[in-house]
Amino acid sequence: MGQDEPAVVELNSGAVLMLLRTGGGRLWRTKKFDLGETWSAPEQTAVEAPASSHSAFRLRDGRLALTHNASPRVCTPLTIRWSEDDGESWGPPLELATAPAWTPGSRESRRQVSYPSVAQLPEGTLVVVWADIGISDAEQYGMIQSARVKP
């Protein structure tokens, strides 16, 4: 199973954590400790995620934020969760957005909320942006959405 669409974040120790998506329903991770010369073997995490993009971000207080779709197969809901131990474990997901369920055979668009990015404002609030995408046989469309989150 291939891994792709990496999200990379520097850890408090100076090591680098890379989180990877697959089609297997969970995120995978690998770390580098030697300024990028070598990476550890990828290992599966307990974090459920479909084959969709995600984002990792280190807050100024040292915690990590992970935005991702908290489902093993579909790109909804979009969530954010925190790690206080450099990505060894993650707290429960906080839902940021959800897309309506799609019924196979329906003429309506399949919807997803995905492709998140995170920034931290000077006072500490996080701004999360993502794409709300609709796809059908007749059209594709998307809107950029955002939320402010107090970590």
**Number of C-beta neighbours around residue 126 at 10 A:** 18
Domain 4-149: CATH architecture, name and number where available? 6 Propeller (2.120)
Half-sphere exposure of 45 (CA within 13 A, CB side): 24
Exposure letters 13-38 (e unless 16+ CB within 10 A, then b):
eebbbbbbbbeeeebbbbbbeeeeee
Q: What is the mean pLDDT of residues 72-85?
A: 95
Place 108 in a pLDDT band, splitting at 50, 70 and 90.
Answer: low
**Cβ pair 87, 11 in contact under 8 A:** yes
Q: What is the mean pLDDT of residues 101-122?
A: 85
In this predicted structure, what is the pLDDT of residue 93? 96
88 pLDDT exceeds 70? yes
Q: Is the pTM of this model over 0.75?
A: yes
Tell me the pLDDT tens digit for each residue of 49-72: 999 999 999 999 999 999 999 999
Tell me the pLDDT tens digit for each residue of 116-150: 999 999 999 999 999 999 988 788 889 999 999 99
Structure tokens at 11: 């850890």
**Number of C-beta neighbours around residue 66 at 10 A:** 27
CA 128, CA 118: separation in Å to the nearest integer?
5
In this predicted structure, what is the pLDDT of residue 107? 65
Domain positions in the chain are 4-149
Q: Which residue has the higher pLDDT, 60 or 1?
A: 60
For residue 57, CA distances in Å to 43, 103, 109, 125, 143 come to 20, 34, 31, 13, 23
Q: What is the mean pLDDT of residues 31-52?
A: 90
